[in-house]
Chain A
Amino acid sequence: MRRAVFNLDEEAQIVSTSGCENKQMTNAPVKPLPKISCKNIWKLYGAKASSLLDNGKKPDLETLRKSGVIGAVRDVNIDIMEGEIFVIMGLSGSGKSTLVRCLSRLVEPTAGEMQFDGIDLLKASSSEMIEIRRRKMGMVFQQFALLPHLSVLQNVAFPLDIQGVSKKNAIDRALDVIELVGLKGRENYYPRELSGGQQQRVGIARSLAVEPELWFLDEPFSALDPLIRREMQDEFLRLQQLLQKTIVFITHDFDEALRLADRIAIMKDGEIIQVATPENLLLNPATDYVAEFTRHVPRDKVLTVGSIMSQMTHASGNPVRNNARIADIARSVLTANHPLPVIDENCKIVGSIGKNAVLDVLTTNGDMR
C-alpha cells in the first residue's frame, strides 16, 4: 500500500525536474520576502489563559496542565515565503488547525504578532479584516463547507456576490474557475449531487474565485478516498504551477506533506518542532518524534542527487541533474560501470555520484529495522 501511494507519477516529476527556473530548488539563490510572518503566537484555552502569558512568560506544558489551560498553539514562529507551498503537518490534536485559524484570524490568538504583506494583522479592525479576507485570502475546508442550497455556479460566485461584484462579472469569473478545476458542465448541479472529489473541486474553485494572494487549505483531501486523494494532489500541483499562490496547507498525512511541500513544519502539542524541506527532514530529523515519521518513508523518492553526491568532479558518461530524485536515476547509475557526473541548473558539473551512494539509499529504503 505504502509503495503504491508513493510510486512516482509523471506530473509530480515534471514539477520537480522541469528546467532551470524551477522554484523547488532547495538552495534558492535569492530569498523572497515572507508573505506572512508570525512571532510568538500563542493560543490558550481556559479561564486563566491570558494571565499565564503576562510579561512575555513562556509557560511549559506542565505549567499549563496544572492551571487547567489547554495550549492549542504554543510560541509559534514561522515565515511563509511568497509563492511557496508551506505544509503544516501534525497528528490530530497537535494544534495545526488552530494555527491556521490563527493565521486567518478565525481564531483570535491569545498573544503574539503577525505581519501579512506589511500589515499588522492582529491590529486590523473587523472591517479591515473583512476587506482583507474578501480580497487577499482564500480557504479550502476539510468537509468542503459548500452551501447546500446553492448550485455549483452560485457557490463559486458566492464570495464575489457578497463583495458586491456585478452579477455578470461574478458569473463570468465563476465559470472561468469552474473550468479551471475541470467541472465544466456541472455548473447547475447542487453539492449533494456531486462526489466528494468533485465537491472539493468546487471548494477549491470557490476559494480561487477572488484571486487570493494567500491560500489556506485545511486538510483539503483528508475526507477523500486514497485514490481520489492522489488525483486531487496532482490537480493541486497542476493548479499551483499555473497560479503560483502563497499556500499554507494543513495535513496529518506525512506522505502528502512530502509530496506537496516546499517546506514542512512538524507540529506536536501546539509547538512547531521542525521546519525544513522534505529532504532535510529526512536527512536531519530534529527529534526522535520527527525521525519516527521519516523512518517508513521510501527515501529514494525524496532524496535528490545533490544531497548524496560526492564532491569529486572527474566523472564521465551521461550527466544527471543535482535536483533529480534518486529513484529516477538509480537505474542509470547502477548500470553504468563508473560514477556519473552531476550537473546543476546551469549545466555546470558540481560533483559525481556512484553505485555505492545509490545502493546506500536503496537499501535503507522504507522500514529496514
Chain B
Amino acid sequence: MRKPALSTLVWIGLCLITLVLAQYGKTWSKSLDIGWIIKYPSWWVIPIKDNISNGMKWLIEDARIGSVFFIDITRSISWLIEQPYLLVKGFLSVGLLDGVGRNATQILPPLSWIVVISGISALGHYAKDWKLAVLVGSCFLYLSVFGQWDSAMITLASVIIAVPLGAIGGLLLGITAYKHPRFDRLLVPVLDLMQTIPIFAYLVPILFMFGFGAVSALVATIIYAMPPMVRITTLALRNVPPEICDFGVMAGCTERQMTWKILVPSASQSLMLGVNQVIMLSLNMVIIASMIGAGGLGFDVLAALRRLDIGGGFEAGIAIVVLAIAIDRLSQAIARKNTNTHREHQDASWLKQHPRSVIIIVILLVTFFIGQLLPFLQTWPEAWTLTTGTIWNDTIKYLNINHFDQFEAVKIFFLTYLLLPLKRFFLGLPWPWSIAMLIALGWRIGGWKLALLNGALSVLILVTGMWTKAMITVYLCGAAVVVSSAIGIPIGIWAALNTKVGRVVGVVIDTLQTLPSFVYLIPVVMLFRIGDFTAMVAIVLYALTPAVRYASHGIRNIKPELIEAGIVSGCTPRQLLIRIRLPLALPEILLGINQTIMLALSMVVITALVGTRDLGQEVYIALTKADTGRGIVAGLAIAFIAIIADRTISASAKHVRQRFGMEAAHG
C-alpha cells in the first residue's frame, strides 16, 4: 500500500504539469527549436503501411499454393458465396433471371409483396403471438407503401445469406475453441482485434481478394458478425451443467456424439441469442457495406446524402429503422421461443399440424396465378406509393429558416467551450509526455503489465506516423464520451429509481440499440451540416445507450439490505443516492463508460462521411483510394486506442470492485 496522501499529491502535480505543457508546450518547443517534440517528424516514420501494401500486392499478383494462384482461390470462394445470394435475391427482389445484363429474361417473378408480408407475419405468429405478427407485418407493409420495397429486399437478401454463414462459422470456431484451450488462447486476441478494428480497414483487402460487389460486402459482413457468435458459443458450451457432460460420458458418447447430441442441443437457448447478435450485426454491416456495391437501403441513404436530398435520405433511413426493428423483434422472439412442450395430438395430419405453412403456400399459389392477370397483386403499384420526402424537406427547411440561430448557438457553444479547448489540449501535448503519462497511468491502475501494454501500443501508433490523427480521434471521441456520460448516466440513474421512467427509457434504449450506426448521421447532418460538431452529435447519439443501460443496471443491482441500512440510519433520499447508491454502482458505471468509448470509436469511421480529420477519415480515404496499407495501419491505430482505453478502464473497475469486496482480490 502506498501512502495515499503522498501519491495523491504526486498525481495532482502530474496533472498540473500536463495542463501547463498542453497550454505552452508548442511555444516553448518553438523557442527551444525542438519542434519534433510536438510533431513527430515524418522521416522517423517506419513505412509499415507501404510494406503491408506491397505484401497485399504480392498476395494478389504472385502468391500461389502449389500451382494455384491465391487470387483464384478467393475468387472461387467468391463465386460459391454468390450463387445462393443470387438465388435469394432473385426470390425476394428481381426474380429468377436467365442470362445477364440487359439480355436477361425473367423466368420466374420474385415473391409478391403479399406473400412476403404474410410469410413474415406467420413467422411472427409462430414465434410469439398475434401482436408480434401484426408488428412485423406492418413494418414490412410500411416498406411497400413508402416505396422502399426493392432496396429493402436487397438488404434482406444479404442478411439472409450472411447470417447462416456467420452463425455456422462462429459456431464451429467456438466449438473448436471450447475443445482446444490452446486454440482458444490464440483466438481471443484475434477476436478482440477483429471487433475493434473498424470494418472499413479490412474492406480494402477484401475488395482485392473477392472483387468489387455484393460478395465482398457479404464477406466483410460475415467477418464482422462472427466474433460475438464465437464468444457466445464457447461461453454457452462452458455453461452446460457438468452433470450433463458426465451423463454424456456415462452413456458412452463418442466425441462427435458428445458435441452434436449433448453439448450443442443443451446450449441451444444461449446459442440462439448469439444468432440474434449475428443478425443485428449483419444488418448493421450490410447497410455500411452497401457503399462497396451491394446496393440496398444503405446505398440509398448514401446517395441521398451526397445529393443533399434530405427527404430521400430520411425515408430510406426510416426504412432501415423499420426493417431493423422487425428483424430484431422476430429473431429475439424465435430465440426465446420454447418449443419444448408436449403436443396433445401427436398423430394429427401434417396439414393440421402446420396451419400457417398451408396458408402461406395457398397465398403463394393464388397470388402467383392471379398476379399474372392483376399485376398489383405481384408488385405494389407505384401509383399507390406514398412519400413523406416533402414533409421532411419542409420540416428541415422550416427548422433551418426559423431556428437557425438557436441551432447555431448550440453548435458554437459546444465548439468554444468543449471541442476547441479539448482539441488544443490534445494537439498541444508533446508526445513523449503523453506516452509517459499513459505508462504511468497503466502502472498505477493495472501494474507493470498494463504499463507495458499502454507503452507498446502508443509507441506503435507513434512510429507509424499516426500520432496527430490519433490525437484528433481521441479528442473527438473524448468529447463525445464526456457528453454521452453527462446525459446518459443521469438518465440511467433516474430510470433505475423511477419505475415509470424506467419502462419508457427501456423501450427507447432497446430500439436505439437495434439501429444500424449509419442511421444516426442522417438527422444530424440535416440540422448541423458537416464538421466536427456534427460528428460529435452523431457519436453521442450512437454511444449513449451503454452509459444509460449500465448506470441503471448498476443502481438497480445494489443489494436491498444496503439501501435499507441507509434508510434505517436516517439518510435523506439525496444522501442515499450520493453516499450509498452512486459509490456502489461505480464499477458498473465505469464499465458503461468503457462500452461508450468502444461504440464511439467504432462510430468514428462512419462520421468520416461528414468530414472529420481523424483516423476515421484516414481509413475512409484509404478505402476510396484502395490503399490497403494505409487503411490497415489507421484501422489498427483505432484498435490500439480502443484496447488501451478498454484495458485501463476495466482494470480500474476491477480495482473498485475489489475494494468493495464484490470480487476476490487476486492472489
Question: Which residues of A are in contact with B by a Cβ distance under 8 Å?
Answer: 101, 104, 106, 130-135, 137-139, 141-145, 147-151, 158-159, 162-163, 188-193, 216
Q: Does B266 contact A (CB under 8 A)?
A: yes
As a 0/1 sequence over residues 566 to 604 of chain B, the CB contacts with chain A under 8 angstroms (1 = contact) are 000000000000000000000000000000000000000
Given known A139-B246, A141-B243, A189-B342, contact A147–B252 (CB-CB < 8 A): no
Q: Find out whether the CB atom of A190 lies under 8 angstroms from the CB atom of B342.
A: yes
Select B266's contact among A138, A148, A188, beta carbons within 8 Å.
Answer: A148
Given known A106-B246, A106-B249, A143-B243, contact A192–B254 (CB-CB < 8 A): no
Given known A147-B265, A149-B268, A188-B342, contact A134–B252 (CB-CB < 8 A): yes
Q: Find out whether the CB atom of B250 lies under 8 angstroms from the CB atom of A137.
A: yes
For A209, the closest partner residue in chain B by CB is B251
Q: Find out whether the CB atom of B252 lies under 8 angstroms from the CB atom of A138.
A: no
A residues near B257, Cβ cutoff 8 Å: 162
Nearest CB of chain B from residue A122's CB, rounded to whole Å = 16
Q: Does B262 contact A (CB under 8 A)?
A: yes
Q: Determine the distance from Cα of A142 to Cα of B244 in the docked complex, in whole angstroms.
A: 11
Q: Determine the distance from Cα of A127 to Cα of B412 in the docked complex, in whole angstroms.
A: 75
Q: Determine the distance from Cα of A132 to Cα of B341 in the docked complex, in whole angstroms.
A: 34
Nearest CB of chain B from residue A336's CB, rounded to whole Å = 53
Q: Determine the distance from Cα of A163 to Cα of B254 in the docked complex, in whole angstroms.
A: 10
Number of A-B contacts (CB under 8 A): 72
Main secondary structure, interface of A, reads: mixed
Q: Find out whether the CB atom of B340 lies under 8 angstroms from the CB atom of A131.
A: no
For A144, the closest partner residue in chain B by CB is B243
Q: Does B247 contact A (CB under 8 A)?
A: yes
Q: Find out whether the CB atom of A145 lies under 8 angstroms from the CB atom of B246.
A: yes
Q: Determine the distance from Cα of A291 to Cα of B251 in the docked complex, in whole angstroms.
A: 39
Nearest CB of chain A from residue B269's CB, rounded to whole Å = 8
As a 0/1 sequence over residues 398 to 411 of chain B, the CB contacts with chain A under 8 angstroms (1 = contact) are 00000000000000
Q: Does B343 contact A (CB under 8 A)?
A: yes
Nearest CB of chain B from residue A168's CB, rounded to whole Å = 17
Nearest CB of chain A from residue B427's CB, rounded to whole Å = 52
Nearest CB of chain A from residue B243's CB, rounded to whole Å = 4
For B339, the closest partner residue in chain A by CB is A149
For A188, the closest partner residue in chain B by CB is B342
Select A106's contact among B250, B252, B262, B266, beta carbons within 8 Å.
Answer: B250
Q: Does B261 contact A (CB under 8 A)?
A: yes
As a 0/1 sequence over residues 222 to 255 of chain B, the CB contacts with chain A under 8 angstroms (1 = contact) are 0000000000000000000101101101111110
What are 7 pairs between A and B in contact, CB < 8 Å?
A132-B252, A137-B250, A144-B243, A148-B265, A162-B251, A162-B254, A188-B346
Nearest CB of chain A from residue B268's CB, rounded to whole Å = 6
Q: Determine the distance from Cα of A143 to Cα of B244 in the docked complex, in whole angstroms.
A: 9
Most A-side CB within 10 Å, residue of B249, B250, B257, B265:
B250
Nearest CB of chain A from residue B564's CB, rounded to whole Å = 31
Q: Find out whether the CB atom of A162 lies under 8 angstroms from the CB atom of B243.
A: no
User: 10 tightest A-B contacts by CB?
Assistant: A134-B252, A145-B243, A190-B340, A133-B252, A145-B247, A159-B251, A188-B342, A139-B250, A141-B243, A149-B265
A residues near B341, Cβ cutoff 8 Å: 190, 193
Q: Find out whether the CB atom of A143 lies under 8 angstroms from the CB atom of B266.
A: no
Most B-side CB within 10 Å, residue of A101, A158, A163:
A158
A residues near B254, Cβ cutoff 8 Å: 130, 162
Q: Determine the distance from Cα of A101 to Cα of B246 in the docked complex, in whole angstroms.
A: 9
Q: Find out whether the CB atom of B253 lies under 8 angstroms from the CB atom of A162.
A: yes
Q: Find out whether the CB atom of A162 lies under 8 angstroms from the CB atom of B249.
A: no
Q: Determine the distance from Cα of A139 to Cα of B343 in the docked complex, in whole angstroms.
A: 29
Q: Find out whether the CB atom of B342 lies under 8 angstroms from the CB atom of A162.
A: no
A residues near B261, Cβ cutoff 8 Å: 158, 162
Q: Find out whether the CB atom of A158 lies under 8 angstroms from the CB atom of B251.
A: yes
Q: Determine the distance from Cα of A331 to Cα of B180 in the docked complex, in whole angstroms.
A: 67
Q: Find out whether the CB atom of A141 lies under 8 angstroms from the CB atom of B252.
A: no
For B265, the closest partner residue in chain A by CB is A149
Which positions 316-364 of chain B face chain A at CB distance < 8 Å? 338, 340-343, 346
Q: Determine the distance from Cα of A131 to Cα of B247 in the docked complex, in whole angstroms.
A: 15
B residues near A216, Cβ cutoff 8 Å: 250
A residues near B247, Cβ cutoff 8 Å: 139, 141, 145
Most A-side CB within 10 Å, residue of B252, B268, B340, B342:
B252
Q: Find out whether the CB atom of B340 lies under 8 angstroms from the CB atom of A142.
A: no
Interface size on B, residues (CB 8 A): 23
Q: Determine the distance from Cα of A145 to Cα of B249 in the docked complex, in whole angstroms.
A: 12
A residues near B252, Cβ cutoff 8 Å: 130-135, 159, 162-163
Q: Determine the distance from Cα of A101 to Cα of B249 in the docked complex, in whole angstroms.
A: 11
Q: Find out whether the CB atom of A188 lies under 8 angstroms from the CB atom of B249.
A: no
Q: Determine the distance from Cα of A134 to Cα of B249 in the docked complex, in whole angstroms.
A: 9
For B340, the closest partner residue in chain A by CB is A190
Q: Determine the distance from Cα of A131 to Cα of B266 in the docked complex, in whole angstroms.
A: 24
Nearest CB of chain A from residue B653's CB, rounded to whole Å = 30
Q: Find out whether the CB atom of A147 lies under 8 angstroms from the CB atom of B342.
A: no
Given contacts A133-B249, A144-B243, could you give 20 more A-B pairs where the C-beta distance is less than 8 Å? A106-B246, A133-B252, A134-B252, A138-B250, A139-B247, A141-B243, A143-B243, A145-B246, A145-B247, A148-B265, A150-B265, A158-B251, A162-B254, A188-B346, A189-B342, A190-B340, A190-B341, A191-B340, A193-B341, A216-B250
A residues near B346, Cβ cutoff 8 Å: 188
As a 0/1 sequence over residues 83 to 120 of chain B, the CB contacts with chain A under 8 angstroms (1 = contact) are 00000000000000000000000000000000000000
Q: Find out whether the CB atom of B251 lies under 8 angstroms from the CB atom of A133.
A: yes
Nearest CB of chain A from residue B4's CB, rounded to whole Å = 34
Nearest CB of chain A from residue B370's CB, rounded to whole Å = 42
Q: Determine the distance from Cα of A138 to Cα of B247 in the docked complex, in whole angstroms.
A: 9
For B251, the closest partner residue in chain A by CB is A159
A residues near B342, Cβ cutoff 8 Å: 151, 188-190, 193
Q: Determine the distance from Cα of A2 to Cα of B340 in the docked complex, in whole angstroms.
A: 40
Q: Find out whether the CB atom of B343 lies under 8 angstroms from the CB atom of A188.
A: yes
Q: Determine the distance from Cα of A142 to Cα of B241 in the docked complex, in whole angstroms.
A: 11
Q: Determine the distance from Cα of A148 to Cα of B262 in the docked complex, in whole angstroms.
A: 10
A residues near B250, Cβ cutoff 8 Å: 104, 106, 133, 137-139, 216
Nearest CB of chain A from residue B638's CB, rounded to whole Å = 41
Q: Determine the distance from Cα of A139 to Cα of B244 in the docked complex, in whole angstroms.
A: 11
Nearest CB of chain A from residue B190's CB, rounded to whole Å = 29
Most A-side CB within 10 Å, residue of B247, B249, B257, B346:
B247
Q: Find out whether the CB atom of B265 lies under 8 angstroms from the CB atom of A145.
A: no
Q: Determine the distance from Cα of A141 to Cα of B247 in the docked complex, in whole angstroms.
A: 8
Select A148's contact among B246, B253, B340, B343, beta carbons within 8 Å.
Answer: B340
Nearest CB of chain A from residue B259's CB, rounded to whole Å = 12
Q: Determine the distance from Cα of A352 to Cα of B386 in the docked complex, in whole angstroms.
A: 105
B residues near A132, Cβ cutoff 8 Å: 252
Which positions 259-317 of chain B face chain A at CB distance < 8 Å? 261-262, 265-266, 268
B residues near A158, Cβ cutoff 8 Å: 251, 261
Q: Determine the distance from Cα of A148 to Cα of B240 in the docked complex, in whole angstroms.
A: 11
Given known A104-B250, A133-B249, A133-B251, contact A142–B243 (CB-CB < 8 A): yes
Q: Determine the distance from Cα of A191 to Cα of B341 in the docked complex, in whole angstroms.
A: 9
B residues near A104, Cβ cutoff 8 Å: 250
For A192, the closest partner residue in chain B by CB is B340
Q: Determine the distance from Cα of A299 to Cα of B250 in the docked complex, in whole angstroms.
A: 38
A residues near B266, Cβ cutoff 8 Å: 147-149
For A155, the closest partner residue in chain B by CB is B247
B residues near A190, Cβ cutoff 8 Å: 340-342
B residues near A145, Cβ cutoff 8 Å: 241, 243-244, 246-247
For A186, the closest partner residue in chain B by CB is B342
Nearest CB of chain B from residue A132's CB, rounded to whole Å = 8
Nearest CB of chain B from residue A213's CB, rounded to whole Å = 14
Nearest CB of chain A from residue B41's CB, rounded to whole Å = 52
For A212, the closest partner residue in chain B by CB is B250
Nearest CB of chain A from residue B428's CB, rounded to whole Å = 53
Q: Find out whether the CB atom of A147 lies under 8 angstroms from the CB atom of B262.
A: yes
Q: Find out whether the CB atom of A149 lies under 8 angstroms from the CB atom of B340.
A: yes
A residues near B251, Cβ cutoff 8 Å: 133-134, 158-159, 162
Nearest CB of chain A from residue B265's CB, rounded to whole Å = 5
Q: Determine the distance from Cα of A162 to Cα of B261 in the docked complex, in whole angstroms.
A: 9
Q: Determine the distance from Cα of A131 to Cα of B252 in the docked complex, in whole angstroms.
A: 7
For B253, the closest partner residue in chain A by CB is A162
